[in-house]
Amino acid sequence: MQGYNVRKTAQVVAFFAIKEGGEINVLKLAKLLYLADRRFLDLYDYPILFDKLVSMRHGPVNSLTLDYINGEAAGADWDAFIAGRANYNVGLKNKTLTFEKLDELNDAEIEVLEETYRKFGGMDQYALVKFTHNPGNCPEWEDPDGSSATIPYARVFKYLGKKESAMLAQAIEEERFLRGALDPR
């Protein structure tokens, strides 16, 4: 996806894996990633990952990131940080990786990741699924009836109470285009 930074995404995944002791349940990870991106959208009007958001059976997810987690996409930037999926877990390539090595993440992103983990890290994957299915928490998620359906950024902004949701979503698309043009990896 144009503008999507695989190395940065791998570092966000690594952040949560470090928090969990080096390995994290895939479903829990998918929920934490979405909730962190949603919170960043709320605070800064931009996502951390610039991923495609989708509704799936277990709630909202970052689609391309889930493809990497599930081994359906691959690349050196991902493999430098994340080991292959093993059963229901994904973990660090290097178990001694520290937060200081996550050089793609800025202070605001780290702060939101920390906040997300403080708030939701103690929940298991099923509690997080229940949380994201609750219309009071993630009303942009719509049951895709066994499939998947795109969650437009404009809809997320709308439910976050942003008055200029279409304009903010357009700015994300323009940023994606520019990032893709400047860094086509």
pTM: 0.94
- The whole-number pLDDT of residue 183 equals 62
DSSP track, the chain: -TT--HHHHHHHHHHHHHHTTSEEEHHHHHHHHHHHHHHHHHHHSS-SS-PPEEEETTEEEEHHHHHHHTTSS--HHHHTTBPPPBTTEEEBSSTT--GGG-TT--HHHHHHHHHHHHHHTTS-HHHHHHHHHSTTT-TT----TTS-EE--HHHHHHHTT-TTHHHHHHHHHHHHHHHHHH---
Q: Is the pLDDT of residue 2 over 70?
A: no
- φ/ψ bin of 138: left (φ > 0), alpha (ψ from -120 to 50), beta (otherwise): beta
Q: Do the Cβ atoms of 8 and 84 come closer than 8 Å?
A: no
Q: Is the pLDDT of residue 39 over 70?
A: yes
Percent of the chain with pLDDT over 90: 87
Query: In angstroms, rounded to a whole number, what is the distance separating the alpha carbons of residues 74 and 9?
Result: 12
**Listed range (17-21, 107-111, 145-149, 174-178) with the worst mean pLDDT:** 174-178
Query: In angstroms, rounded to a whole number, what is the distance separating the alpha carbons of residues 156 and 74?
Result: 28
Provide the mean pLDDT of the chain: 94
Largest CA distance in the chain: 44
Q: Do the Cβ atoms of 55 and 151 come closer than 8 Å?
A: yes
- The whole-number pLDDT of residue 84 equals 87
Per-residue model confidence as pLDDT tens digits over 101-158: 999 999 999 999 999 999 999 999 999 999 999 999 999 999 999 899 999 999 999 9
The pLDDT-based confidence of 175 (bands split at 50, 70, 90) is confident
